[in-house]
Amino acid sequence: MIEKLLIANRGEIACRIVRTAQRMGIATVAVYSDADAQAPHVRMADESVHLGPPAARESYLLGDKIIAAARQTGADAIHPGYGFLSENAGFARACREAGVVFVGPSPEAIEAMGLKDRAKALMEEAGVPVTPGYHGDNQDPAFLKETADGIGYPVLIKAVAGGGGKGMRKVEDGANFLDALESCKREAASSFGEERVLLEKFIANPRHIEVQVFGDSRGRVVHFFERDCSLQRRHQKVLEEAPAPGMTPGVRAAMCSAAVRAARAVDYVGAGTIEFIVDGSGPLTEDGFFFMEMNTRLQVEHPVTEEVTGYDLVELQLRVAAGGSVPEQDAISLSGHAVEARLYAEDPATGFLPSTGPLHRLDLPQPGSGVRVDSGVEEGGEVSIHYDPMIAKLIAHGETRAEAIDRLVDAIDEDVRVYPVRTNAGFLRRALDSDGFRSGAVTTHFIEAHLDALAPEGVSTLHYAMAALAYLDGGPMTPPANDPWASRDGFRVNAPAYLAVAFDREGERIEVRLTPDGAGFLAEVGDDSVRLDMPRISLLREFGHVAALVDSEEVVAEAETVEDGLLVSLRGESVLMKPFNAEAAAEGLDGEAAVKAPMPGKVLSINVEVGQSVTKGETLCVLEAMKMEQSLAAPRDGVVGEIRVSSGDQVGAGDVLVALTEDEEAAA
């Protein structure tokens, strides 16, 4: 058995591995960068070794330093987690040469499945169905375009070394193919150091279903059934569940058998995932799925499989790495349903850009709530600009799919509060509770097709209404003592015809009009309104909550005075409500709009010139941040008054890139 394990990772997956290893009696060693010196995974481990500066290429990607740390501490095994070096065949080979157990497959298996073009050819030989396309060596742009024309549009261009949605472009017609190819290769070279691509026929209504496989050194391979990961945004998984909705025994048998054949084709040892693209235009069929790729590591979404099978996959990884066996296939069965939501520090209002910074407030579901939480950050810590901005994975299990979804929705409503970092919690809640997801009729295009409903702009009318209630019960905007609304006893039926409460949202005056209506009132914000029955503002004094019935459902918001306003947390979203200040708003009107870098990055291109007229939404420049290209658009109509950067410049978060004016003569 392994005696001491070094975890070559950070964040929630490092914490996850430490917990299982310690439960098994295995001593643990953490590694960390300067940015993670006080991180939870470092404190949880029995020992820790410093690697270097925050940048991953100077710390977590230094395989030689990690192996040296294993030797220094006497660790006899290294678990790579996911990401970083987990699918690096060179690192796996270096571990073997150093006499350290690599908790994962052989370097030969990683190499065989690491490049999508070679993997597809191997799968064809093994009798695993693959998507129609081209995965050959000829990378001449003219040849690739001619091949794409022959496949038929739309097609996908995919980096052969890609993953996580990077190095992937959908092309609708031949006119845009060469531009998309150039962009795809540039991003692939930046992200993976390999610009070669393959082509795939685009499946119009695709579902993403994957099978968890496990092999041991005795040549046995088993599966742990399937997961559905179809709810994605920009090819990044958002919600995952097991088992897949609409799965039939026949399709499950065909898909899981194909996955086992795929793993056996490379003599696979350890945990792996065979990903299939599935035709979701109708019911699942035994000939309607195609091999997409194999992830030769533990997946982010592995907890849903653990919840429905009862197996600890990390424990099984460690036992197999030490020479143990996988269980018999008949010993693995499904029980109930599990759903996982990835809680990220990202702002849906800014196109889901990462929202980094300190975590002054971090509330997550607690043990016993019926929801499992895998997290690697804590209140008082921060979300770093250097790494993936995941805060936690929230996993709910129930006897039925509906019960699991309800449990996860309730957990977000009641237990998730994060401030001042912005999160996607509200977006996750709306996705979980949407008719489309609840019905199981979800393809990988679902979020794109319903983005306006899932990520609406601005603050919800319900947030404003609950904030107005809270202010009326002692917040910063409490009305004068002679105002009939000044009572601390709750809603007054003898109130004036209406009461207007004004908030400041980025210099704009937002008025909430409250009109008595029976046992409650109608809250109006512009053209939108929400009816709240039986409001209970008296709860604020004792519990810090305000409550009301909305469409017969009790809605509870937490209200807390912070800074110069009120922090209102409702359905996973925490919003700072500030009282409107007319003088301050007037001072902020300078006739100019600045396009700023939303996060640190590199300027790839400037698309406009000084003096050029632009319209709202027009792309002004392109920024590369966290290895993803971000197009920055004009916030309003105007004239380019100043360009403060050039292509190739490194910029920081908040740096002004392009400034707009109203007047061409003012352009400098």
Helix H or strand E segment including 514: strand 508-517
- Three-state DSSP state, 541: helix
Query: Where residue 473 falls among pLDDT bands split at 50, 70, 90?
Result: low
Q: Which tens digits make up the pLDDT trace of 351-388?
A: 888 898 999 999 999 988 889 999 999 999 999 989 99
Instruction: Output the CA torsion sign for 260, 262, 268, 273.
Output: negative
Say which of 16, 297, 422, 513 is annotated catalytic. Answer: 297
pLDDT value at 490 more than 60: no
Q: What average pLDDT does the segment 607-617 reach?
A: 92
Query: Where residue 477 falls among pLDDT bands split at 50, 70, 90?
Result: very low
Least confident of 110-114, 609-613, 648-652: 648-652
CA gap 509, 511 in Å, rounded = 6
With b meaning 16 or more CB within 10 Å and e meaning fewer, what string describes 89-104?
bebbbbbeeeebbbbb
Residue 104 vs residues 57, 173, 317, 438: alpha-carbon distances, Å: 21, 41, 7, 36
Query: Where residue 476 falls among pLDDT bands split at 50, 70, 90?
Result: very low
More confident call, 282 vs 115: 282
| Predicted pLDDT of residue 257 | 98
Least confident of 59-68, 138-147, 354-363, 516-525: 516-525
Closest CA to 431 of 373, 352, 545, 528: 352
Cα 609 to its chain centre, rounded Å, is 35
Quote the tokens at residue 590: 């300078």
- Contact at 8 Å (CB) between 346 and 357? no
Q: Residue written as tokens 């590694």?
A: 31
CA gap 256, 309 in Å, rounded = 15
pLDDT value at 337 more than 50: yes
- Contact at 8 Å (CB) between 114 and 89? yes
Q: Which tens digits make up the pLDDT trace of 35-72?
A: 999 999 999 999 999 999 999 999 999 999 999 999 99
Q: What average pLDDT does the segment 544-564 reach?
A: 87
Q: Which tens digits make up the pLDDT trace of 163-172?
A: 767 889 999 9
Q: Which tens digits make up the pLDDT trace of 616-637?
A: 889 999 987 655 677 888 888 8
Q: What average pLDDT does the segment 470-474 reach?
A: 66
Q: What average pLDDT does the segment 273-300 reach?
A: 94
CA gap 499, 516 in Å, rounded = 9
Query: Where residue 486 falls among pLDDT bands split at 50, 70, 90?
Result: very low
Q: What average pLDDT does the segment 482-487 reach?
A: 38
CA gap 221, 227 in Å, rounded = 18
pLDDT value at 96 more than 90: yes
Q: Which residues contact 217 (CB under 8 A, 6 or more apart)?
A: 269, 320, 323
- Contact at 8 Å (CB) between 539 and 472? no
For helices 107-114 and 89-97, angle between their N-to-C axes, nearest 10 degrees: 170
Q: What is the DSSP letter of 113?
A: H
Cα 84 to its chain centre, rounded Å, is 17
Query: Where residue 423 falls among pLDDT bands split at 50, 70, 90?
Result: very high
Q: Which tens digits make up the pLDDT trace of 183-200?
A: 999 998 888 888 999 998
Can you name the residues that pair with 536 across neighbouring β-strands? 547
pLDDT value at 390 more than 90: yes
- Three-state DSSP state, 19: helix
- Three-state DSSP state, 485: helix
Residue 403 vs residues 333, 337, 400, 438: alpha-carbon distances, Å: 20, 8, 5, 11
Least confident of 263-267, 315-319, 550-554: 550-554
Q: What average pLDDT does the segment 397-425 reach?
A: 96
CA gap 44, 27 in Å, rounded = 11
Q: What are the φ and ψ backbone dihedral angles of 618, each rounded to 5 degrees?
A: -75, 135
Q: Which tens digits make up the pLDDT trace of 198-209?
A: 998 888 899 999
- Three-state DSSP state, 7: strand
| Predicted pLDDT of residue 541 | 67
- Rounded to the nearest integer, the mean pLDDT of the chain is 89
Query: Where residue 75 falls among pLDDT bands split at 50, 70, 90?
Result: very high
For the chain, counts of helices (H) and of strands (E): 19, 38
CA gap 635, 616 in Å, rounded = 5
Query: Where residue 493 falls among pLDDT bands split at 50, 70, 90?
Result: very low
Q: Residue written as tokens 């919600």?
A: 239
Report the percent of the chain where pLDDT is more than 70.
92
| Predicted pLDDT of residue 535 | 87
Least confident of 121-130, 432-441, 492-501, 507-516: 492-501
Most confident of 162-166, 261-265, 584-588: 261-265
- Three-state DSSP state, 515: strand
Q: What are the φ and ψ backbone dihedral angles of 270, each rounded to 5 degrees?
A: 105, -165
CA atoms in the 13 A half-sphere facing the CB of 471? 27
pLDDT value at 153 more than 70: yes
CA gap 559, 576 in Å, rounded = 10
pLDDT value at 327 more than 80: yes
Closest CA to 427 of 369, 313, 350: 350
Q: Let me know if 509 is a catalytic residue.
A: no
Query: Where residue 583 falls among pLDDT bands split at 50, 70, 90?
Result: low
SS3 readout for 416-469: CEEEECCCCHHHHHHHHCCHHHHHCCCCCCHHHHCHHHHCCCCCCHHHHHHHHH
Query: Where residue 495 falls among pLDDT bands split at 50, 70, 90?
Result: very low
Which value, in Å, is the radius of gyration of the alpha carbons in the chain?
27
| Predicted pLDDT of residue 484 | 36
Can you name the residues that pair with 296 across neighbouring β-strands? none
